[in-house]
Amino acid sequence: MKVLSLLIFFFSSLFVGETTVSTGYQPGDKATDFKLKGVDGKMVSMSDYKDAKGFIVVFTCNTCPFAVKYENRINDLAKKYKKQGYVLLAINPNDPAVQPDDTYELMQAKAKDKKFAFPYLVDEGQKIYPQYGATKTPHVFLLDKNLVVHYIGAIDDNVDDASAVKEKYLENAIASLDKGEAPSPAVTKAIGCSIKAKKKS
């Protein structure tokens, strides 16, 4: 029983979303812009997109099984909402010293292989994800053009099967934002792998 309990704890801590308590942004907060290197070697900031209606910031990575299951959906979202004025920016927050398959070179290979239609950025020094309060990969933040946060959490309610999704949390939040309404829910639980950070000495 002790072994079973330890296994349950391990997997729940690895994959299950955090509680709604966060040290990062909450809906209504204004996010700080960032300047991060993309897989094409160029530095990217939200300020680069002067005409954007809003931003979809997704903390994701190469390796998490949940992030991998969402890759195609994230790509589709980037293409769909680019036409509507929203810019999707994906940020890899993992430290490659802790998760070797999340190196910059392997990010480049992933982006090329999957034909990512969005900037795939590296959070060097892991300075950005703590500001946002991201805890999982994937973890989504929807911002308006003024960088005010309107939605935080999961993309939808079905990790395993895109065709079986019943609640498109992110898309519903974007629709609400377009109407000038507050998304409901404004916060959902992000389901994914814990962000891989160096242990503080």
Exposure string for 90-127, b = 16+ CB within 10 A, e = fewer: bbbbbbbeebeebbeebbbebbeeeebebbbbbbeebe
176-182 contacts, C-beta under 8 A, 24 or more apart: 176/150, 177/54, 177/142, 177/144, 177/150, 177/151, 178/53, 178/84, 182/27, 182/150
Q: Is 0.75 topped by the overall pTM? A: yes
* pLDDT: which is higher, 102 or 15: 102
How do residues 55-98 score in pLDDT, each as one tens digit?
999 999 999 999 999 999 999 999 999 999 999 999 999 999 99
Q: Which residue, 120, 108, 113, 134, is CA-closest to 44?
A: 120
How do residues 103-115 score in pLDDT, each as one tens digit?
999 999 999 999 9
How do residues 108-164 score in pLDDT, each as one tens digit?
999 999 999 999 999 999 999 999 999 999 999 999 999 999 999 999 999 999 999
At residue 23, the pLDDT reads 78
How do residues 165-200 score in pLDDT, each as one tens digit?
999 999 999 999 999 999 999 999 999 999 999 876
Helix (H) or strand (E) segment spanning residue 36: strand 36-38
At residue 17, the pLDDT reads 35
CA 14, distance to chain mean position in Å, is: 16
Contact between residue 64 and residue 192 where contact means Cβ atoms under 8 Å apart:
yes
**Average pLDDT, whole number, for the chain?**
90
**DSSP conformation letters of 46-112:** GGG-TT-SEEEEEE--SS-HHHHHHHHHHHHHHHHHHTTTEEEEEEE---TTTSGGG-HHHHHHHHH
